[in-house]
Amino acid sequence: MAASSKKIFTASRLPRNTGTSGWVAMLPTRRAGLRLQGHITSDVVIIGGGFAGLSAARRIHELDPGLKVAVLEADVVGEAAAGRNSGFIIDLPHEVSSDDYGGDSAARSKEAIVISRTAIALASAIAAEQGWSKDVFDPCGRYSVAISDEGDHHLTAYADQLGKLGEKHQLLSAREIAEVTGTRSYTSALFTPGTVMVQPAAYIRGVADSLVDPVTVYEQTPAVQFESTGAGWLVKTPEGSISTGRIVLANNGHAESFGFFKGQVLHIFTFASMTHEFDPARLSGHRKWAATPALPMGTTVRRVPGQNGDRILVRSRYTYHPGLVTGDGTLRRAGAQHDRKFKARFPTLTDIPMEYRWAGAMAVTWNSVPAFGEIEKGVFAACGCNGVGASKATASGIAAAELMLGHNSRLTEIYKRFDAPKSLPPQPLTTIGAKANLAFREWMAGAE
């Protein structure tokens, strides 16, 4: 390739995580992983060690165990969003809301279910192979909980649509969900059995550690640049470089930091707080349950049992940060909201303070499609998680691996049909629009 046609992609910024993830803090400190030093060659380089990147590595190894794969993770595995989420690997679309449910809408929901269940199948196979306990990986299902008339109505409509899709579900009255959660705050609930609950930091570390030679994960090794060479690509890191034929870009919103999907991805952050341990006798109900809100912008709550007591996790609030970083002030404000939500739901536990608070980044596209596909010759994107990356980014990683290796499946069929992400309006309209939209939707979610 002539020097003039050389393509160079340089990271304009690297990820920075805000706050301390309770999930990471609950685990032993991670032994420092391998850092890339010097020059190596590899058949494939994967940039990003989250759900998408590690799942891509797993799938590549399944399809062709002889391929040498290097996964580059900028931080320590588990510190970014994949290790700091609420731990729901959800099998059903969040919303299947259309009054006249059928036709295209039902077909789209069925495809969304194929995507999620393909991800869950991969995760379940790893869990079985590694012999993980239910503290790490628990196929226990989830509750969607309502706290208002509007939430109740939404759950009933959702249950109706699940019935039409032939999906198992069970509506619970206020008394029945109180028996599970130990709080009378919820007005109704809907149980669906297919969600897997994970300790996200333990899960993502476990997936990384399940990868075997010739797949290697390099931690604290950001990709800072990649450039085309006659034969493929040269990926540069602070202390080394890799010559490779193919790249999987699995760094979610940070694909834009390399110049890809510019103006097509909204960088939305969400936040979580986790209490100190408390005596389990102080809250009746089950010691372990997980609930997402009836309305999408509402509050997720999880009770997590431990040897020294139980903890409650509260996740809520969405903010937009085009620079892909959020600060301590935003985290503090989200934390104040978590405290209010916690006190409203658990009036008998108001003396239990939060011990950990954290933020994490998600990449959302206007038309809810992944930022996916072969974006340069030999460079495959598995980005744009659209907020539920435990399933969607895992599936994107699998699909990118299959596309790259020419393996056809139901999943690749679906992914090949996705539209490209729609362009967002020019700045500052996107910022104004995104902030107004998030504020309005949070206001609509009300107490939920």
Ligand X SMILES: Cc1cc2nc3c(=O)[nH]c(=O)nc-3n(C[C@H](O)[C@H](O)[C@H](O)COP(=O)(O)OP(=O)(O)OC[C@H]3O[C@@H](n4cnc5c(N)ncnc54)[C@H](O)[C@@H]3O)c2cc1C
Residue numbers at the binding site for ligand X (CB under 6 A): 11, 14-15, 47-53, 72-75, 80-82, 84-88, 90, 222-223, 250-252, 254, 270-272, 315, 360, 362, 385, 387-391, 393
CB of 318 to ligand X, least distance (A): 10
Which residue is it, tokens 């590690």? 54
For the bound state, the minimum distance from the C-beta of residue 38 to ligand X, rounded and expressed in Å, comes to 18
What minimum distance in Å lies between the beta carbon of 286 and ligand X?
A: 19
Between 174 and 369, name the residue whose CB sits nearer to ligand X. Answer: 369
* Bridge partners of residue 360, in order along the sequence: 270
Q: What share of the chain is helix, strand, coil (3-state, %, to 5)?
A: 35, 25, 40
Which residues, including other chains, have CB under 8 Å from residue 261's CB and lie 6 or more apart?
255, 371, 381, 383, 384, 421
Cβ atoms within 10 Å, residue 86: 21
In the complex, the smallest distance separating the C-beta of residue 73 from ligand X, rounded to whole angstroms, is 5
- Smallest distance from the beta carbon of 48 to ligand X, in angstroms? 3
CB of 359 to ligand X, least distance (A): 6
Cα separations in angstroms, 353 against 25, 61, 306: 16, 44, 17
Helix, strand counts (H, E) of the chain: 10, 20
Nearer CB in complex with ligand X: 81/398 = 81
Query: Encoding tokens for residue 96?
Result: 């299947």
**Burial bucket for residue 391 (CB in 10 Å: 0-12, 13-18, 19+):** buried
203 Cβ contact list (under 8 Å, min separation 6): 83, 87, 123, 132, 136, 137
Measured from the CB atom, is 67 or 268 closer to ligand X? 268
The least distance separating ligand X from the CB of residue 279, rounded to whole angstroms, comes to 26
- Alpha-carbon gap, residue 19 to 330, rounded angstroms: 11
Question: Any idea which residue has 């290796």 for tokens?
Answer: 405
Judged by beta carbon, residue 74 or residue 172, the one nearer ligand X is 74
User: 203 vs 346, which CB is nearer to ligand X?
Assistant: 203
Using the minimum distance from each CB to ligand X, give the nearer residue, 27 or 178: 27
Least Å distance, CB 362 to ligand X, is 5
Least gap, CB of 81 to ligand X (angstroms): 3
Q: Do residues 322 and 431 make contact, with C-beta atoms less than 8 angstroms apart?
A: yes
b or e along 312-329 (b: 16 or more beta carbons within 10 Å of the residue's beta carbon)? bbbbbbbbbbbebbbeee
Indicate the burial class of 65 (C-beta count within 10 angstroms; 0-12, 13-18, 19 or more). exposed
Supply the minimum distance, in Å, between the C-beta of residue 21 and ligand X.
Answer: 8
Choose between 172 and 250: whose C-beta lies nearer to ligand X. 250
Q: By C-beta, is 120 or 162 nearer to ligand X?
A: 120
Q: Which is nearer to ligand X, 179 or 316 (CB)?
A: 316
Q: Which residues share a beta bridge with 53?
A: none
Strands 188-192 and 170-173: antiparallel
Q: Which of 148, 292 has the CB closer to ligand X?
A: 292
Query: Which of 211, 258, 324 minimizes the C-alpha distance to 47?
Result: 258
